[in-house]
Every structure is written in structure tokens, then in C-alpha cells.
Amino acid sequence: MKLKIIMLAVMCIGVMHLSAQQLPVYLDETKPIEQRIEDALSRMTLEEKVAMCHAQSKFSSAGVSRLGIPENWMTDGPHGIRAEVFWDEWNQAGWTNDSCIAFPALTCLAATWSTDMSLLYGKVIGEEARYRNKNVLLGPGVNIYRTPLNGRNFEYMGEDPFLTSKMVVPYIHGVQANGVAACVKHFALNNQEIDRHTVNVNVDDRTLYEIYLPAFKAAVQEGQAWAIMGAYNKYKGEWACHNQYLLNDILRGEWGFDGVVVSDWGGVNNTMQSIYNGLDMEFGTWTDGLTDGISNAYDNYYLSKSFLKLLKSGEVKEEVVDKKVRNILRLAFRSTMNTKRPWGSFGTQEHALAGRKIAEEGIVLLQNKNNVLPIDLAEVKKVAVIGENAIKVMTVGGGSSSLKAKYEVSPLEGIKNRIGSQAEVIYARGYAGEKSGAQDGLGTGQDISDNRSEAELIVEAVKVAKEADVVIFVGGLNKNDGQDCEGNDRSSLGLPYGQDKVIAELAKANKNLVVVNISGNAVAMPWVNEVPAIMQVWYLGTEAGNAIASILVGDANPSGKLPFTFPVKLEDNGAHKLGEYPGNGEETYNEGIFVGYRWTEKEKIKPLFAFGHGLSYTTFSYGKVVADKKEMTVSDKISFTVNIKNTGNREGSEIVQLYISDLKSSVVRPVKELKGFQKVSLKPGEEKAVTIIIDKAALSFFDADKHDWVAESGDFEALIGASSSDIKAKTGFSLR
């Protein structure tokens, strides 16, 4: 390997001394990429072309060394750069310089409702990937939150296609500015982990286009993503990684995608489909995508020897492999062969602080009765921290997003760091979950086993709570199998390990109770009326504890809003109410377009916490919403302006949300749909005008018969709100 690197470096140095006229076209960066692609392609052997179409190790694919075309190196994941594993094993390679910054999970990013934070996120994680010489980042994930049981929801951006679409684009721009491809996943309809390798998803075209495709379309057409990853599941009876309708008809045909389609690890299942149905690069075949695998199987991949044999016999035309290699070469010219891409940086304090900023903006204050928060350190002498999640490592586990973090500040550590010099901090376990196992040979490095009984743990917790001025319970889910973890779904909406009982007893013991819920999913809260303050804090990565502490004491004012609905009970979710999930090999989306708040509003169900909900330590007033016109045509745009004022005594940010309601339609439509938002920062007493502009796309539905988007003339309402259930102002307008 070292010799290969030296030879490539010598060749590159030699090339640098050639004039542009002497350079082969494919090496001449002054030439258009498409011309360079054709020149490189013409110089390649059939064997070299096929070799580029499949993996040569767990995370790499071949280049063409004799032509100076580098290998491609992929890395998980959307939240940090995965530690190095052996070339043919999932186990750790034992490097000492691959400890990354762990960034907040994408549910947290979505909860910021800030495109600025999304751009920052993409920038810093792209820098980390670039420094590690990875040219494809396997993320972000944009699958829609259909059920709160999906074990992988924490990796995605919530239930709303518009919010997800707006948040994914800056992330891609930030990553790709570093010469690293964002590989947007999992295309498409990967909305459950149970039976993910075998389930066939049945969904009507209107639902597909209105709910499950918009974020991918935005990633391709607005984000200009260089790579897309296929999903494990089937759709129309074909696996998504080689699916004619998804990859050829929609992705490339309708959207004009010119990047590379990468399989999910272990997602390829058929030779002829993988040849003809839109796949370019095959990875992880004969693995489960996480741990299992056949040793040294690469020559036997579907796009390897069998592909080459079909090409040599003439049964498959060479133009078929050329089409794939063009896409792979385009990736190379955009990334590894772009001499102007920056060098990146890794594991820096700047990156850690960027992660903390995103974490602080994404934390959601769900409830704050009697202004228990922020904690007034001048009035508090003793703070009790209770709960296993206050000390549990959260960056290890969860599947392919598991990370070898440079460091991770636990909630208990963060609270002690911030208030330990001003108040006494005492800790009690409260509850004990199952032990965390190692993943890919990477362990947590901690032993938090506790053999005491549930009763003993609760007695201790109550005693500590009674002695404190404020109690902070840190619980929720974790990254273990069957919770927020790839490969399986949750079995229920409730909290595990008897936490409900602990919280109920703490509420009796101390009226100043704060519940800090760490999860990437909604959870049931039967104690909601007994607990004054509740915070949703997600998986926050390296700076988790410091970010949590800054919100608890008011150093940072919470401004996050929920990117998905918290139902009271599982039956308040359409996928569960209509009885299909998880299917029996066939999963039908009977709820159609009515996902999340669209379902609760249609059925007139009051959620536990609504989509878009989030409180602040200050207050905001909304003025009257004014449209710049009362009528628009399909070629027009219309703007809505509302004045927002900070009426409290703290600086804070409010997320102004615009929903559109079609008052009369030829088809059934949601009560309202998010079609715009803006995050605005205001000092105490400050007032700003917020303007949100829409066009006919915000008024359209997908007509499956016409296979086109339709905006019907008629009357509409624009609703301005602080959440989907908290509408502050509205105005009518018409489309003519």
C-alpha cells in the first residue's frame, strides 16, 4: 500500500511539470468534465471498468492506478467520521489517530429549523471527512418519520417533506465544498428496520411524490448531490438498490441526476437487475450491513466476475458498463481528482464547538410550568442529577452511525462543569438498563453495571431528590438494539427500564423536577401533567453535556422546535391505527399522505406535543399577517409578512412557520401543510418583520393520473404559527 501511494505521488509530481497541451485530456482540469470522462473511459480496459463498479474492501472501491485515477473511499456516517476497520473485517483496525468529533444526530439538526446550522454542519463534517481522505460521506439520511418505532429515525430529519427538503440542501453544499460527495440515503421508502432486507413497500404514487420523494428531489436538483445510496427494502417487487422505477425512471429520468448510485451495504441481490436498473457501485454484498460478512468475497459480487463474463460474451453490451463508469469517473473528477479541493481538518476544537452550537439550537423545551427553567444558580444550593443516561456513553452503538469519538461530555459531567463551583451536584442512578455491547470491536470503555433492584434504585433516587433544590432526571432511550438503533425497531412507545415509575416518584418527592429526554424518537409520557419541565435533547455527540447544561442554566436560550409529532399513544399514529405495520413481507402505507401532523389534524387527535412545538425563556408576540396581493396566477409569487416582537427580557430566537390550507379541492388534502419557515433572533423588546415567499409549488398536489403536479384555482389560506397547533395569524388569498 505504501509503495502504491509513493508511485502515485511520483506520477502526480511528474504530471505537474507538464503543460496543459501535453496533459492527457482526462488529467487536464481546464477541460470540461464530460470531455475528461470520455477520454479516461477510452483508455480503460474492460477489466478496469468492471473493477470500478464494486467494492475491493469494506469501504473502498478500485481506481485505475496506471492512469492515476485514485480509489474511492467511503465513510459512515451522517454524524461523524467512522473509525478505520480492517480491509476485510468489521473490527477496528487499531489506529490511534482516527478519533473524530461526534456531531449531533440529524433529528437535532432538523430541530434547529436553521439552514445556517445545516450549512455549518455540512462544512465541519465535510472537513473531517476530507482530512481523513474520504471522498464519499454516507449521509445525510432523509427518510420520512412514518412511525415512532423506527429504530433509525434518529438519523433522519423528521416527518415533514418540506422541512427535510430545506434542511438537506445546505448540508450537501457544506460537505461538497470540501471535495467530498454527500451520499444521500436511503432511496427510497426505508421507513422501518424490521424486515428491512425483505419487505416490499406498497404506496400510491401521490403519497410517494408528496411525502417520501421531495427531500431526495431537493437533494438532487437544489443540493446537486454527487451520490445517492439505495435502500434495502423492495418497491414494486424490486430491491431499491436496483430498481427501475426509482433509479432509472425517477432519479435519472425525471430529476436528471448525474451522480453515482451506491448500494447500501448488503443491498444488492440480483445480477441482471444490478446491471440494468440504475446501480453504479456495489458494496457490502453478503453482509447484513453491520457485522456479518463472507471473507474476501469481492470478486464474486454481482457486479464483478459475473458482470465481466456477461460483457465478454456480448450478452451485455459494453455501453452498459460505460454508463456506470461515467458516473464513477464524474465522482472522481469532482472529488479525488480535483486538485483545488481544500485539505480539511479533523478533531478540532472549532469542530467541537460547532457541534455544541448546533446542539444548543436543536434542544427543544417541551414544557416549562412555573418557570422551573432556567435554573437560577443564585437561589439553588443543591442539584440532584438522576438517571442512567446522565452517565451513559451515547456515541458508540446504534449501527452504522457508531463513532469512536475523541471525547464525549456526559450530561452529568456537563452539569458539574457548569454549576459545580456554585452549587453541590449529587447523583443517583434511578434505573439501570442492559449493558452496552461492543460494536465492530469498539466498546464504550465504561462499566455502568448496577445489580441493585428496581426498588433499591428508586428509594435512593427519591432520598436524593428530597434533599435537592432542583432535580434533573436524565433518561430516555439509548443506542442499544431495539431502541434507537439500526437493524431493529422499538417494541413500544413507552420508556424502557421502568423509567415511568422513577419519574412518577420523583415528581412526588420534589416539585422542581426537570425531565431531560435523550432520544431520536417520540416517547410516551404518562407523567406529563406531574412534571413541570421537560426537555427533548436528542443524541448530541461530543459536547452533549456542555450543551445540555448551557440550556438548563440559561446561558443559551432554547430555540429548537420539534421536527415530528409526539403522539399520546401509538394508536394516534396513522401507520399503527390502520394496522399494517410492520407487515408480513408486504407493508402497505394505508395512511397515504396523512403522516405526522397531517394525520392528527385529519382525525382531530390532540398530540402530546405538536410538530413545530418548542418553548423559549422569553416570549414573542405575532402581529397581523399581510399578503402583498390577494390574487396570484400560476406564474406569480406571493409574499406574506408578519411582525414578530420579543416581549420578554431575554434575547431569543423564534421560528416563524407558514402553513398553507387549500379551502376547496377536487382531492382530499391535509388540513394544512408547512410551506415556509424562518428563524429570527430578537433582543428584548426588538421587533422584526418576517417575510416568507411562496409560488405555485406550495399550492400543488401530485395528480397520479396526469403524473404531474397540479395547482387548482380557488381560495387558500396562509397560516402563520409557532407550531402546527399554535396558529397566530392567517389571511386568505386566491389562485386564478
First to last CA, the chain: 66
Q: Is 264 a catalytic residue?
A: yes
What are the angstrom distances between the C-alpha of 590 and each of 139, 292, 579?
29, 34, 8
Burial class (CB in 10 A: 0-12, 13-18, 19+), 651: middle
Helix axes 33-42, 318-334, angle to 10 degrees: 130
DSSP letter at 568 equals S
How many Å apart are CA 289 and CA 284, to the nearest integer? 6
**Within 13 A of 733's CA, how many CA atoms are on the CB side?**
26
How many Å apart are CA 55 and CA 62, to the nearest integer? 7
**Catalytically annotated residue among 98, 264, 280, 572:** 264
Residues near 184 by Cβ (< 8 Å), separated by ≥ 6?
Answer: 139, 140, 141, 142, 168, 172, 216, 219, 220, 223, 225, 227, 228, 229
Contact 211, 217 (CB under 8 A): no
How many Å apart are CA 412 and CA 433, to the nearest integer? 17
Q: Cell numbers of 427, please? A: 447523583
Closest residue by Cα to residue 471 from 375, 598, 538, 394: 375
Cβ of 727: how many Cβ atoms within 10 Å?
Answer: 17
Closest residue by Cα to residue 328 from 558, 136, 501, 81: 136
DSSP letter at 54 equals B
Report which residue type is found at 241.
Answer: C
Q: DSSP for 81-149?
A: PPPPB-TT-SSB---SS-PBPPPPPHHHHHHHT-HHHHHHHHHHHHHHHHHTT-SEE---B------TT
Q: What is the CA radius of gyration of the chain?
A: 26
How many Å apart are CA 199 and CA 106, to the nearest integer? 25
Burial class (CB in 10 A: 0-12, 13-18, 19+), 542: buried
Contact 321, 311 (CB under 8 A): yes
- Coil vs helix vs strand at 601: helix
Contact 436, 444 (CB under 8 A): yes
DSSP letter at 609 equals B
Which residue shows C-alpha cell 409549488?
A: 697
Contact 381, 423 (CB under 8 A): yes
Cβ of 663: how many Cβ atoms within 10 Å?
Answer: 11
Which residue shows C-alpha cell 409529532?
A: 565
Residue 346 — left, alpha, or beta (φ > 0 → left; ψ -120 to 50 → alpha)? beta
Burial class (CB in 10 A: 0-12, 13-18, 19+), 642: buried
Which residue numbers are catalytic?
264
